[in-house]
Amino acid sequence: MNNFQNVAKEFMAVGSLLCGVSFLFIGPSPLLNIGPSRLWLTIAAFFPFGVGIGLIIVPSTNDIMREAALMGMPVNVQRGKQ
């Protein structure tokens, strides 16, 4: 688990890049010069978008808890009044 905590921010950065690149193809961006949008290209671009969102959301939860603990917050995930 400790090795995963060391690379959480890198996973989130890679996920952000994947989402950004997939949005270029979903658009499509005039920078790519690929012509009008095609259905197969839009569908294919959603795959790296989904992987990128997963790489952003999953490590961010653990990273938020770790950073909060480093700032002195209590480490518990209980809901409601005690």
Is position 78 within any domain? Answer: no
Is position 62 within any domain? Answer: yes
Place of tokens 């989402």: 19
Amino acid at 58: V
Q: CB neighbours of 46 closer than 8 A, spacing ≥ 6?
A: 22, 26
Residues 56-73 as b/e (b if ≥16 CB within 10 A, e otherwise) read beebeeebeeeeeeeeee
Is position 60 within any domain? Answer: yes
Is position 15 within any domain? Answer: yes
Is position 14 within any domain? Answer: yes
Burial class (CB in 10 A: 0-12, 13-18, 19+), 18: buried
Domain range for 53 is 2-70
What tens-digit pLDDT sequence spans the chain (82 residues)? Answer: 555 556 888 889 999 999 999 998 888 777 877 777 788 888 889 999 999 999 999 888 888 888 888 888 877 766 656 5
Look at the chain and report how many structural domains it folds into: 1
Is position 61 within any domain? Answer: yes
